[in-house]
Amino acid sequence: MGRRHLDHPRSVTMFALVDCNNFYASCERVFDPSIEHRPVIVLSNNDGCVVARSNEAKELGIGMGQPVFQVRDLIRRHGVTVRSSNYTLYDDMSRRVFTTVQSFFPKMESYSIDEAFIDLEGTHLDDMIDSAATMRRAVLQWTGIPVSVGIGSTKTLAKIANHMAKRDRAGPGVELLETGDDASLASVDVGDVWGIGRRWKRTLVAHGIRTALDLKRADDQWILQRLNSIGHRTVLELRGRRAFALEEEPAPRRSIVRSRSFAGSIETWDALAPALASFASRAAEKLRAQETAAGVLTVFLNTNWFRPDEPRYANQATLKLLTPTNDTPTLVRHALQAGRHIWRDGFRFKKAGVRFTALQPHRPVQMHLFDALDHDRSDRAMQTMDRINRTMGADMIRSGSAGLGTAGITRRRHGSPRYTTRWDELVEAHANRGKS
């Protein structure tokens, strides 16, 4: 790679990570200014765990992923605003944010719902911070979402710079980490390095590697042995060598999962079957949306992991489909068959799901002259079904056996409206609200 760069250090190419601050909480605030500057948390499915927190909520000591029942007191004492998660809204806001980012920096990789990497090629090193700051202001102004920007010569360093930008709350929200800035690396906990999770952190700390700088200086062979080849790439990136490329074109999904934990528990096959049918049918929609077909189907179910006092059972059944398909009735039938196979009476099931793998391209056959082939007819029926569900809202039409699906067995008590995607749930604007 670019030895030439040494000759022109001021035009070195850099990556930046744009990361939305407390994304879900920020989305909730955009449409409800009354909760600005106040503690806000967003909950996972079934209102079980905290999946997003405003800074004020973080300061109260509410942890990421913490079960809600453990922070009930804090919520009450400090009047924390609680919202069930609203992914329709977050997806739409995400699209708006990154469309804006891309209008400034066209080479962009959407990395997750709230993060994107960009390539700052063409921007002079001296101008990078200013350009990023300009983009940041535009995003805030046009979408209402605050973002932080970290700049570095590799994705891993850009991630660390972003971490530093967030750490410095009074700062400008943009941080540039020079490749040789070891003092900064020494200030970053090794567990905060992108790619180092809980287990690896434990291994590293036990070996005296506590900071990002220690990791940068670690022995390559030792890393390869005790972590793996990916962990080693992280080390290379800390040294300024690019090991993870910017991927502008998202690779097609290799698997699709639809699963849920149930608010209570499921004790009869008759209660599980509609849930499985619903999972299979939602996953099939996803298959068709990306024009793939599943070659392998897996159904899994398990009892409550957190109840050691109850009988435990977890199992999964995998079946290979003779012909890869994305046809809902076929997939539902197979899912029920696989589920029946691993079903056992006498357990209280807490979670189940359907997974499709061995995905392969499947182009729907459009407007064939004759209806001779069943799969043509099936393709068109599926297209119609997807179209109606898309326009009318999810689940207007679904496979007969899906019935109510998971409607009666999941919980959602703090929902906010789908402000941006449903006419009947639009925010009401009041002229005297004051913000323009």
Beta strands in 50-188 (DSSP E): 50-53, 81-84, 108-112, 115-119, 147-152, 174-176
Return phi, psi of residue 86, to 5°.
-135, 80
Phi then psi dihedrals of residue 76, to 5 deg: -70, -45
Query: From the CB of residue 255, how many other CB atoms can be counted at a distance below 10 Å?
Result: 13
Interacting residue with DNA among 179, 187, 302, 304 (CB under 7 A): 304
Q: Which one of residues 253, 333, 340, 380 is an interface residue with DNA (CB under 7 A)?
A: 253
228 binds DNA (CB under 7 A): yes
Segment interacting with DNA, rule: CB under 7 A, options 205-213, 228-236, 367-375, 413-421? 228-236
Residue 51 near DNA by CB under 7 A: yes
For DNA, which residue of 21, 45, 100, 281 counts as binding (CB under 7 A)?
45
Is residue 307 part of the contact set for DNA (CB under 7 A)? yes
Residues 151-190 that bind DNA (CB under 7 A): 159
Task: Choose between 173 and 195: whose C-beta lies nearer to DNA.
Answer: 195
At its nearest, how many Å lie between DNA and the CB of residue 211? 15
How many CA atoms are closer than 13 Å to the CA of 369, on its beta-carbon side? 0
Q: Does 67 bind DNA (CB under 7 A)?
A: yes
Give the sign of the dihedral formed by CA 381, CA 386, CA 387, CA 391: positive
The only residue of 103, 112, 134, 421 in contact with DNA, by rule CB under 7 A: 112
What's the min distance (Å) between Cβ of 414 and DNA? 14
C-alpha closest to that of 146 among 16, 15, 23:
23
Q: Which is nearer to DNA, 115 or 327 (CB)?
A: 115
Closer CB to DNA, 69 or 134, in the complex: 69
Smallest separation (angstroms) from DNA to the CB of 370: 35
CA dist., res. 150 & res. 201, Å (int): 23
d(CA 316, CA 338): 8
Candidate residues 124, 171, 230, 427; the one interacting with DNA per rule CB under 7 A? 230
Q: How far is the CB of 5 from DNA (least distance, A)?
A: 26
Half-sphere exposure of 348 (CA within 13 A, CB side): 12
254 binds DNA (CB under 7 A): yes
Q: Minimum CB separation from DNA for residue 359, in Å?
A: 8
What is the DSSP track for 208-265?
Answer: T--BHHHHHTS-HHHHHHHS-HHHHHHHHHHTT---S----SPPPPS-EEEEEEEEEE
Q: Closer CB to DNA, residue 123 or residue 237?
A: 237
How many CB atoms within 10 Å of residue 301?
A: 24
Taking the least distance from each CB to DNA, the nearer of 123 and 256 is 256
- Measured CA to CA, the distance from residue 181 to residue 278 in angstroms comes to 52
Q: Is 236 in the site for DNA (CB under 7 A)?
A: no
DSSP 308: T
Interaction between residue 394 and DNA (CB under 7 A): no
**How far, rounded to the nearest angstrom, does the alpha carbon of residue 267 sit from its chain's CA centroid?**
31
CB closer to DNA out of 157 and 256: 256
Total of residues contacting DNA (CB under 7 A):
48
- Length of the chain in terms of residues written: 436
Residues 336-365 binding DNA (CB under 7 A) are 350-351, 353
Residues contributing to the site for DNA (CB under 7 A): 44-46, 48-49, 51, 65, 67-69, 111-115, 159, 194-201, 228-230, 251, 253-261, 263-264, 286, 304, 306-307, 318, 350-351, 353, 410
